[in-house]
Amino acid sequence: MNNIFTKLKQFFIAHKTAIIIVLAAAGVDRITKVLALELLYPVGSVEIFRWFHLTYVENTGMAFGLFQNANLFLLAVMIVVIIFIVKSWKELTALRPPLGLLGASLILGGAAGNVYDRIVLGFVVDMIDFRVWPVFNAADSFICTGAALLAFAMFFNKNAPEEK
């Protein structure tokens, strides 16, 4: 039993930055969704600026309104993405440090937030509404930002072998 705790302690020490980023992303996402459930659900939408509203949406699909009513399928996809990132952790975090670590951590945090919603609520809570774009949430932003950082890190990877 002591060996398990020692290994866990070593893991947390070795990956503390990533763990903090994942927990921060998932935490921000959760807080914004709880606020949306408590404050926006009763009113539907609140205009902040003419071009920006906070709008309560129960999304059973994915980004941009695709795959509506495919909650189970999308839950499975997100779990596969999480498993892939965890299994590829060393390779991803080695890409153009610290971009690979930041990108992978943001994707994990965002995916965890949306997986939580799909399991507990049966839908994902969206609330950020620019009126010219489908309504989205903080987790979607973290996933997209993380994917962009990973793409940048892969494209400009200074550790990649050079072609001759």
**pLDDT single digits (tens) 77-107:** 999 999 999 999 999 988 989 999 999 999 9
Which of 74, 31, 40, 46 has its CA nearest to residue 58? 40
Catalytic residue among 29, 117, 126, 129: 126
H or E stretch at 99: helix 99-120
Three-state DSSP at 63 gives helix
Residue 117 annotated to the active site: no
Contacts of 11 (CB under 8 A, 6+ apart): none
In the structure, what pLDDT confidence band is assigned to residue 1 with cuts at 50, 70 and 90? Answer: low
Residue 151 to residue 146: CA distance in whole angstroms? 9
Catalytic residue among 29, 117, 129, 140: 140
- What is the percentage of the chain residues whose pLDDT exceeds 90? 73
- DSSP type of residue 64: G
Residue 140 annotated to the active site: yes
Q: Using one digit for the tens of pLDDT, what is the confidence trace for 12-32?
A: 888 899 999 999 999 999 999
What is the average per-residue pLDDT within 120-124? 94
